[in-house]
Structure 1
Amino acid sequence: MLRMLPFLLVLALWIWAFIDCLTTPEEEVKHLPKVVWIIIILLFGEVLLGPIAWLAAGKQRGGARSRNVPWPSGQTAGYPEYERPRSRSGAPDDDPEFLASLKKDNQKHEDMLKQWEADLRRREEQLRDKDEPEKP
């Protein structure tokens, strides 16, 4: 079993480098086209030259990679107000805007409930008037 360990490690590195190369976006591949890197990994995988070359020189890693964040850190200028990232400190119930929006929503729901109750009373009265025969 111990004799198989080096072979399994080489195979695992080979498979990992191949999958990593396949899933890397084209703009992150350095020095050669992606197809050439795949061929190098496949052809020289058994002697570890292909996977080691891919790890060393084939892909942008660490600090060289461009950050894919929606907003530049620390910058909010230049964005419209509705797209500007908001930094929230504390709990939402400490935010006066949030509390005001809750009050507004509650008032809207109370008004809607009053309308429904008034409509229900009106309909009940209409049904009662239809059911009662007219008295002479």
Structure 2
Amino acid sequence: MARVLIVGGFLALVFWVFSIVDCAVQPATRHRGVPKGAWIAIVVLIPVLGGILWFVLGRRRRSDQASMRSVAPDDDPEFLRTLGKTEQDERIRRLEEELARLDDETDGPAADSRS
């Protein structure tokens, strides 16, 4: 019986230390609910239960973080699917016309100054 308590106490100590280290080394963006310092205090002051709370509630998973990441419209396949081919063609045509107009405006004064 004493061995079971010793092994259980040792495992609880290892889990507690692991929880503290894991909580401390995670970037602040990976903490949910309360700030990083509060999570460290919870894990330190409530040894085993704090560690369980950290892993269940406080630690943001990589998959959670990936879904929060913002993506530029031209990199977002969902956005690109919403654009129709004609919308893209029309936008390209307008941009080309604007570039041609800007080229004409810059070419005009330069040609006059050379004369």
Q: Cα distance, 1:62 vs. partner? A: 4.5
Larger Rg: 1
CA distance, structure 2, for counterparts of residue 25 and residue 16 of structure 1: 16
Per the alignment, residue 15 of structure 1 pairs with 17
CA distance, structure 1, for counterparts of residue 14 and residue 65 of structure 2: 25
| Structure 1 unpaired stretches of 5+ | 68-74, 76-136
CA distance, structure 2, for counterparts of residue 3 and residue 43 of structure 1: 21
CA distance, structure 2, for counterparts of residue 3 and residue 12 of structure 1: 14
Runs of 4+ in 1 over 3 A off after TM superposition: none
Per the alignment, residue 57 of structure 1 pairs with 57
The yes-or-no answer on 1:6 pairing with 2:8 is yes
Q: What per-residue deviation string (whole Å, max 9, x for no partner) do you get for residues 72-114 of structure 1?
A: xxx6xxxxxxxxxxxxxxxxxxxxxxxxxxxxxxxxxxxxxxx
Per the alignment, residue 39 of structure 2 pairs with 37
| Structure 2 unpaired stretches of 5+ | 68-74, 76-115
Per the alignment, residue 84 of structure 2 pairs with none
Q: Which amino acid aligns with 2:59?
A: K
Task: Identify, as 1 or 2, the structure richer in helix.
Answer: 2
The number of equivalent residue pairs is 67
Alignment root-mean-square deviation, CA = 2.0
Per the alignment, residue 27 of structure 2 pairs with 25
Identity of aligned residues (%): 27
With normalisation by structure 1, the TM-score equals 0.45
Q: Cα distance, 1:6 vs. partner? A: 0.3
CA distance, structure 2, for counterparts of residue 60 and residue 53 of structure 1: 12
Q: Cα distance, 1:49 vs. partner? A: 1.2
Higher relative contact order, chain-length normalized (CA < 8 Å, sep 6+): 2
